[in-house]
Chains A and B, each alone.
Chain A
Amino acid sequence: MWGIVAVYFITLIVVGILTSRLVKNSGQYYLGGKQFGPVFTAFRFASTFESGAMMVGTPGMAYASGMPAFLQGFLSPLGYFFAFRVFGQRLKVACDHFNTITVPQLLEKRYDSRTVRVLGSIAILIGLIGSVTAQLKAMGEVFAMLLNIPYMYAVLIGVLVVGIYSICGGYLATAWANFIQGVIMLVGAIVLFSYTSMAAFGKVGGFDFPARLNAEIAKVNPDMLTITGGGQVPVLLIIVFIFIALTVGLAMPQQVVTLFSMRDVRVARISLVICSFFSVILLWSLLPSAMMAHIILPAVDNPDRVIPALVSSVLPVWLGGIFIAAILSAIMSTVGSIILVAASALSQDIFSIVAPQVYEKHPVLYDRIAVALMVIIPLLVALKPPAIIFWIILFSFGMIVVTFLMPMFGTIFWKRATKHGAIAGMLVGMILVPLWAILGDPVIPGLLLGLIAGPLAFIIGSLVTQPPKEIVEPLWEAYSQI
């Protein structure tokens, strides 16, 4: 088992070293030279989106509460539809039109305002450091559990591998890594499903599979088959899931850069199909597998341990190694993409503004240093988390979404949007959402409040000022060419 995990790690490091030779400038380092076709685009987009939660946490929820766990994933195809069909092509055209590398740069050009760029970079740094730390902690815990090593070594090994390939090869390395990781995730999920259903029913799948599984689940607890799982699925939670799915391609910079890196706008079309298959295969093999654990395993106390327990009981040792590599892949692909985006905000949007002469001398070197910092800082935080980080993790997702949603929307859909509107909307995300988290989310969750207040501030701020026509008109002309 260790052998397979070691092969997986070594492959990733080799990818990092090989791709590092191809990097000549920042555009190549952070966007891989914008040369990616549908397969790489789709695998990067989907594997970044599906984090470790999809491989461990969500199946655990399916084991514990049944059908409601499917909520987390069944909107994914619609989410990909919005990402590629509704937003993707325009985002790609805007990125090429302004010749930008990062999301804050795109906003700067569209709104003709350096303030917007700086605000965007700060939001990315704070928000994504929170996300990276949360993912690193999860990675350490899962590695420690699966490989049976202490948490500290687990975090160190995982970070070392992600760190090496991200620092060396930048976007190109993470794109290759995400492709390899995506393939391993799919193979692992299908293998686990096949072996689990052999153990449970003596055959794989079949048209009567859902009926048989449901009959068995009904014996354990019939409530697990109802819409709410016997408990109350909070309406707010459903709204949040729908919302996340529909905005993933617009408000999350680590996803948006994948759209920037496409070879041309047509790539979005096949990517949409591949992404949809990706999420459906993962969802419909992992969640039913976890539910079948009720048939073949004695009761498991901690739902997060269901998948590891299945792996050790139904899979042969060497296939268990592949599945563990799949879980590691899910986490590492997300971590790698986030680290790269956070680093691009640091070097491209902050360092290059503060010290342009120094940066321009060796841009790729400073880009690499930025990635190294983005690996080391969250690592130190994850090894010994200070109290403030739990609080940052709490609001980081809401902050990123609220800060970027409306300015990005204005970039691709609303001509009337102005820099004052964008700044007002971003400040709501960066101040109100964290403040609401300090107050303990009174009355409504900070994310929802931000989603009401952010757009209001954005619209009002835009309507009372005038947009720069000389920037907007050529951009809309470019959109009309799609």
Chain B
Amino acid sequence: MVWNMPTSSFLFYYVLPWTSFLFVVIYGIFWAMSKR
């Protein structure tokens, strides 16, 4: 249990989406700053 929810559900509904969000945002910022 993490945050009172099953660990599998925590990974699937919290860790996975926030990881993908952070990846996309960080990628986008670096991409926007790059010259090419």
A residues near B20, Cβ cutoff 8 Å: 74-75, 77-78
Interface size on B, residues (CB 8 A): 21
Asked, given contacts A67-B9, A210-B3, A225-B4, whether A272 binds B17 with beta carbons under 8 Å apart, the answer is no
A residues near B28, Cβ cutoff 8 Å: 81, 84-85, 269-270, 272-273, 276
- Tell me how far the C-beta of B14 lies from the nearest C-beta in chain A, rounded to whole angstroms: 7
- Tell me how far the C-beta of B1 lies from the nearest C-beta in chain A, rounded to whole angstroms: 9
In the assembled complex, the Cα of A364 lies from the Cα of B14 at a distance in Å of 49
Q: Which residues of B contact A (CB under 8 A)?
A: 3-6, 8-9, 12-14, 16-17, 20-21, 23-25, 27-29, 31-32
* Contact (Cβ within 8 A) B4 A214: yes
A388 lies within 8 A of chain B by Cβ: no
Interface of A (DSSP majority class): helix
- Which of A78, A266, A276, A277 is the most central at the interface, judged by chain B CB atoms within 10 Å of its CB? A276
A residues near B16, Cβ cutoff 8 Å: 74
- Tell me how far the C-beta of A59 lies from the nearest C-beta in chain B, rounded to whole angstroms: 15
Sample (11) of A-B pairs whose CB atoms are under 8 Å apart: A74-B13, A74-B16, A81-B24, A211-B3, A269-B28, A270-B28, A272-B24, A276-B21, A276-B24, A276-B25, A280-B21
* Contact (Cβ within 8 A) A226 B6: yes
In the assembled complex, the Cα of A277 lies from the Cα of B21 at a distance in Å of 8
Interface of B (DSSP majority class): helix
* Contact (Cβ within 8 A) B8 A78: no
A residues near B31, Cβ cutoff 8 Å: 85, 269, 272
Q: Which of A74, A77, A210, A211 contacts B25 (CB 8 A)?
A: A77
* Contact (Cβ within 8 A) B21 A270: no
* Contact (Cβ within 8 A) A273 B5: no
Asked, given contacts A74-B16, A81-B24, whether A227 binds B9 with beta carbons under 8 Å apart, the answer is yes
Given A225-B4, A270-B28, output 13 extra A-B contacts at Cβ < 8 Å: A74-B17, A75-B17, A75-B20, A85-B28, A85-B31, A210-B3, A214-B3, A214-B4, A225-B6, A225-B9, A269-B32, A270-B32, A273-B25
In the assembled complex, the Cα of A75 lies from the Cα of B20 at a distance in Å of 8
* Contact (Cβ within 8 A) A227 B13: yes
B residues near A277, Cβ cutoff 8 Å: 25
The 4 closest A-B pairs by CB, nearest first: A74-B17, A269-B32, A214-B4, A273-B28
